[in-house]
């Protein structure tokens, strides 16, 4: 069975495309790429069609991850098409819950930091867009830890018990 996952942030140019591509990379490394279909989207239309942020791609490239793509906006039909929708922050999660028409759709929405073993009380991945390169480095580390945690939960079937 294939699990379809969509990672969601505000503009789909920094956090969610990073999560999508880190998930794909680590799933391939684990020999599990055929178990997942991954995508990403933004809750806003601000960056439609744009490439992922160059600063984040530079940070990722220094760590061996090269990726591209184009920003798209999350659609209400995505709530049916994906098995799991991973929001980068509380605002994104709230936007997604408002779009949900059923409890089943709403139950698919999880926060990225719910999978980070080092997450504190704040369950929002910070948006580094208006800051310096240090913020992008920090977000890379957070998203990578979270992706690895998500892969572990999926591997062991722990995710189903959280719903």
Would you state the pLDDT for residue 162? 45
By annotation, the residues acting in catalysis are 9, 15, 127
Q: How many angstroms separate the CA atoms of 107 and 105, rounded?
A: 5
Q: How many residues does the chain have?
A: 163
51 φ, ψ (degrees, to nearest 5): -75, 160
| Rounded Cα distance, 53 and 63, in Å | 16
Is the predicted pLDDT of residue 160 greater than 80, yes or no?
no
The pLDDT score that the predictor gives to residue 159 is 66
| pLDDT, average across residues 126-151 | 97
pLDDT tens string 54-68: 999 999 999 999 999
% the chain with pLDDT above 90: 92
pLDDT tens-digit map of 85-112 = 999 999 999 999 999 999 999 999 999 9
Q: Say what the pTM is.
A: 0.95
Q: Which domains does the chain have, with CATH numbers?
A: 3-157 (3.40.50.2300)
Average pLDDT over the chain, rounded to whole?
A: 95
């Amino acid at each position: 069975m294939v699990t379809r996952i969509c990672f969601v942030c505000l503009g789909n140019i920094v956090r969610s495309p990073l999560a999508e591509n880190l998930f794909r990379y680590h799933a391939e490394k684990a020999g599990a790429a055929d178990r997942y279909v991954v995508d990403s989207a933004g809750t806003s239309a601000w960056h439609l069609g744009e490439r992922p942020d160059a600063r984040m791609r530079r940070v990722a490239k220094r760590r061996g991850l090269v990726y591209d793509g184009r920003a798209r906006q999350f659609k209400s039909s995505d709530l049916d098409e994906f098995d799991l929708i991973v929001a980068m922050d509380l605002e994104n999660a709230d936007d997604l819950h408002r779009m949900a028409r059923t409890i089943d759709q709403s139950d698919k929405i999880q926060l990225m930091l719910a999978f980070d073993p080092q997450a504190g009380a704040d369950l929002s991945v910070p948006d580094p867009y208006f800051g310096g390169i240090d913020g992008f480095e920090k977000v890379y580390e957070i998203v990578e830890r979270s992706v690895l945690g998500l892969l572990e939960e999926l591997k062991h079937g722990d995710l189903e018990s959280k719903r």
